[in-house]
């Protein structure tokens, strides 16, 4: 992804960034400054005060700058300045445009407020927060110091079409396919969606991965991240970009799996309830990174393909394989009328550039800023209960705040083709980007286990509350993780008894032998037909 001063969907291709996130680079800053000076002499709007000291301006200023900077000759500049000063006819038409704009804004605000109110009503705060870490130790997915963890296994170059890409795709599917073989689990609908696309390096075959709890459900809370890595620099690992976000998403789904099943069975038995028609969906995009310099054509190949397919296909339940709870759920949704597949996404939550310590996530979209607030509150609640950080973390991090601040400019990322089709977006990407962004330093050394642990707790709680999972749904021992967990707990206990300081790194080294013995069980490569996996 990259910073964009002018939004992609506004059709302007010349982004000026803050230097850090801008591959295109400022093309004519000097000229722009000159134009602004002239505008301000003419009584036109002045540049906003960016406290970052960078060249990013706010959206209001963007609009103004587009008017002036679209002309490069001084004659055309003078003409646009004249327009801003206004003749009477121009003023009348501008007033009309402003009136229509205000009316539209009021309508949009009213419908957003209504939608927010009904969604917010669905959220119920979980009282017993200790249920969240009890869903399982996230280390097996997000601990980069553990060689057997999912994060370690996907922390390899994974350029589209490469052997690494195939390996990572298999590793991401494995935990879900393991559940699909478990008779007690309702399983997940796993779809590998291959496509071919034109790139500056010729035609390339890529694959998106979509995993859905109940595919018959007419609405989804969709968590997404990209799993590919950059072609250059050669050997680029992309630990924060986006191996860690992928691992966080997998942990969230697997940790909540048993609770989701319990809720599915409950809804099927009791009929419709609050949030009963919303299911959890995960998307792992391929081809987010550009082959050369980032442009609108050379980037986000996976999300463009998926969004385009989902705008051209209808979601028309019942269509789920008639097995397990899916059969019961089909009956629940049978009266829903067909909609475009893309419209089943209630919110797209896109995680990117996460895993380094001290992320700062501002709200990027006014329509979903209330979800940022929910996350911020969730972080505070978990911290107050001392459940946010790993059990052995030093107490001086207990008041770290990750949410808030202001988004300067826009960011180009996988959400854009969905945003353009009206999908509400919650973009979880830090501002500023991690210092290692798009460098060889974005490897395991850029990651902080405490931060990744915090992200898993946060996402589990957020998703559980969003989907209105009851405390009774969450009260159960995790199936897949139990054995490994018992070994860890035993060792932790032994160390506590011996009065030793517990360090996860050392603990991992000590449990390596045990981990070796267990790794073959939940995370084993399997050849399963992707299309018939629900149940
Ligand atoms: Zn990137």
Is 246 domain-assigned? yes
The rounded Å distance from CA 290 to ligand 1 centre is 8
The residues annotated as belonging to the active site are 288, 352
The rounded Å distance from CA 32 to ligand 1 centre is 28
The rounded Å distance from CA 255 to ligand 1 centre is 27
Is 108 domain-assigned? no
Check whether residue 53 and residue 145 sit in a common domain: no
Is 114 domain-assigned? no
Tokens 């393909």 identify what position? 305
> 318 by DSSP, 3-state: which?
coil
The rounded Å distance from CA 69 to ligand 1 centre is 29
* DSSP run (H or E) holding 19: none
User: Residue 180 in contact with residue 535, Cβ under 8 Å?
Assistant: yes
The rounded Å distance from CA 27 to ligand 1 centre is 22
> 126 by DSSP, 3-state: which?
coil
Check whether residue 197 and residue 276 sit in a common domain: yes
User: CATH number of the domain that 297 lies in?
Assistant: 3.40.630.10
* DSSP run (H or E) holding 52: none
Is 265 domain-assigned? yes
Check whether residue 191 and residue 258 sit in a common domain: yes
- The closest alpha carbon to 2, from 427, 223, 299, belongs to 299
Check whether residue 433 and residue 312 sit in a common domain: yes
Check whether residue 308 and residue 217 sit in a common domain: yes
Check whether residue 80 and residue 202 sit in a common domain: no
Check whether residue 70 and residue 202 sit in a common domain: no
Check whether residue 323 and residue 248 sit in a common domain: yes
Range of the domain at 458: 130-532
The rounded Å distance from CA 413 to ligand 1 centre is 9
The pLDDT tens digits along the chain (535 residues) read 666 533 333 333 333 333 333 333 333 444 444 544 443 444 333 333 333 322 232 332 332 222 233 333 333 333 333 233 344 555 566 666 666 667 666 665 555 555 566 777 778 899 999 999 999 999 999 999 999 999 999 999 999 999 999 999 999 999 999 998 888 888 899 999 999 999 999 999 999 999 999 888 889 999 999 999 999 999 999 999 999 999 999 999 999 999 999 998 888 777 666 667 899 999 999 999 999 999 999 999 999 999 999 999 988 765 544 444 445 466 567 656 778 999 999 999 999 999 999 999 999 999 999 999 999 999 999 999 999 999 877 667 888 999 999 987 789 999 999 999 999 999 999 999 999 999 999 999 999 999 999 999 999 999 999 999 999 999 975 444 454 455 445 545 654 555 443 343 333 333 344 434 434 333 222 222 222 222 2
Query: Which of 66, 85, 104 corresponds to the end of one domain?
Result: 85
β-strand 278-285 against 314-315: which pairing, if any? unpaired
pTM above the 0.75 mark? no
Cβ neighbours of 46 (radius 10 Å): 12
Is 94 domain-assigned? no
User: Residue 394 in contact with residue 438, Cβ under 8 Å?
Assistant: no
Handedness of CA 503, 508, 514, 520 (dihedral sign): positive
Query: Which of 85, 101, 121 corresponds to the end of one domain?
Result: 85
Is 300 domain-assigned? yes
The rounded Å distance from CA 354 to ligand 1 centre is 11
Check whether residue 298 and residue 176 sit in a common domain: yes
DSSP result, 370-420: HHHHHHHHHHHHHHHTT-SS-TT--GGGTT---B-S---SEEESTTHHHHT
Question: What phi, psi does 280 have (nearest 5°)?
Answer: -95, 135
The rounded Å distance from CA 228 to ligand 1 centre is 9
Check whether residue 141 and residue 80 sit in a common domain: no
Check whether residue 359 and residue 504 sit in a common domain: yes
Is 43 domain-assigned? yes
Query: Which of 85, 100, 121 corresponds to the end of one domain?
Result: 85
Give how many domains the chain has, as a whole number.
Answer: 2
Measured in residues, the chain has a length of 535
Label residue 54 exposed, middle or buried (CB < 10 Å: 0-12, 13-18, 19+): middle
User: Residue 429 in contact with residue 241, Cβ under 8 Å?
Assistant: no
d(CA 390, CA 386): 9
Is 102 domain-assigned? no
Check whether residue 170 and residue 55 sit in a common domain: no
């Amino acid at each position: 992804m990259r910073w964009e001063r002018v939004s992609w969907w506004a059709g302007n291709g010349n982004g000026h960034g803050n230097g850090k996130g801008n591959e295109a680079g400022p093309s004519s800053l000097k000229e722009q400054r000159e134009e602004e000076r002239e505008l301000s002499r003419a009584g036109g709007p002045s540049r906003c005060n960016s406290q970052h000291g960078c060249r990013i301006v706010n959206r209001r200023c963007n609009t103004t700058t587009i008017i002036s900077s679209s002309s490069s000759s001084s004659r055309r500049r003078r003409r646009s300045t004249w327009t801003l000063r206004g003749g009477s006819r121009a003023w009348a038409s501008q007033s009309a445009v402003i009136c229509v704009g205000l009316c539209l804004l009021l309508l949009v605000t009213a419908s957003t407020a209504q939608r927010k109110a009904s969604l917010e009503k669905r959220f119920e705060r979980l009282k017993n927060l200790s249920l969240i870490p009890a869903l399982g130790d996230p280390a097996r997915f997000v601990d980069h110091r553990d060689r057997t963890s999912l994060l370690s296994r996907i922390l390899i170059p994974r350029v589209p079409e490469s052997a690494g890409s195939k390996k990572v795709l298999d590793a991401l599917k494995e935990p879900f396919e393991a559940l699909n073989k478990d008779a007690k689990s309702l399983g997940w609908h796993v779809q590998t969606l291959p496509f071919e696309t034109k790139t500056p390096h010729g035609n390339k075959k890529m694959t998106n991965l979509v995993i859905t709890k109940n595919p018959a459900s007419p609405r989804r809370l969709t968590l997404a991240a990209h799993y590919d890595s950059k072609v250059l620099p050669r050997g680029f690992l992309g630990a924060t970009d986006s191996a860690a976000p992928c691992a966080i998403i997998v942990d969230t789904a697997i940790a909540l799996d048993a609770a989701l099943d319990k809720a599915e069975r409950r809804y099927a038995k009791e009929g419709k309830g609050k949030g009963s028609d919303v299911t959890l969906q995960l998307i792992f995009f391929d081809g987010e990174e550009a082959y050369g310099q980032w442009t609108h054509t050379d980037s986000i190949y996976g999300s463009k393909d998926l969004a385009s397919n989902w705008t051209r296909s209808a979601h028309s339940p019942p269509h789920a394989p008639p097995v397990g709870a899916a059969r019961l759920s089909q009956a629940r949704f049978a009266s829903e009328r067909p909609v475009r597949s893309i419209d089943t996404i209630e919110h797209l939550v896109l995680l990117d550039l996460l895993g380094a310590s001290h992320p700062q996530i501002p709200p990027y979209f006014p329509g979903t800023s209330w979800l940022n607030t929910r996350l911020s509150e969730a972080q505070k609640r978990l911290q107050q209960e001392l459940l946010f950080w790993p059990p052995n973390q030093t107490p001086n991090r207990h008041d770290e705040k990750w949410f808030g601040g202001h988004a300067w400019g826009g960011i180009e990322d996988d959400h854009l083709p969905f945003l353009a089709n009206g999908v509400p977006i919650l973009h979880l990407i830090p501002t500023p980007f991690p210092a290692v962004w798009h460098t060889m330093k974005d490897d395991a050394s850029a990651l902080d286990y405490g931060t990744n642990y915090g992200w898993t707790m946060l996402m589990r709680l957020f998703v559980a509350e969003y989907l209105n999972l009851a405390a009774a749904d969450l009260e159960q021992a995790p199936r897949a993780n139990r054995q490994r967990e018992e070994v860890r707990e035993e060792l932790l206990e032994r160390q506590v008894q011996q009065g030793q300081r517990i360090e996860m790194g050392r603990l991992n080294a000590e449990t390596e032998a045990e981990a070796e013995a267990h790794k073959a069980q939940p995370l084993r490569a399997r050849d399963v037909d992707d299309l018939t996996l629900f149940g």
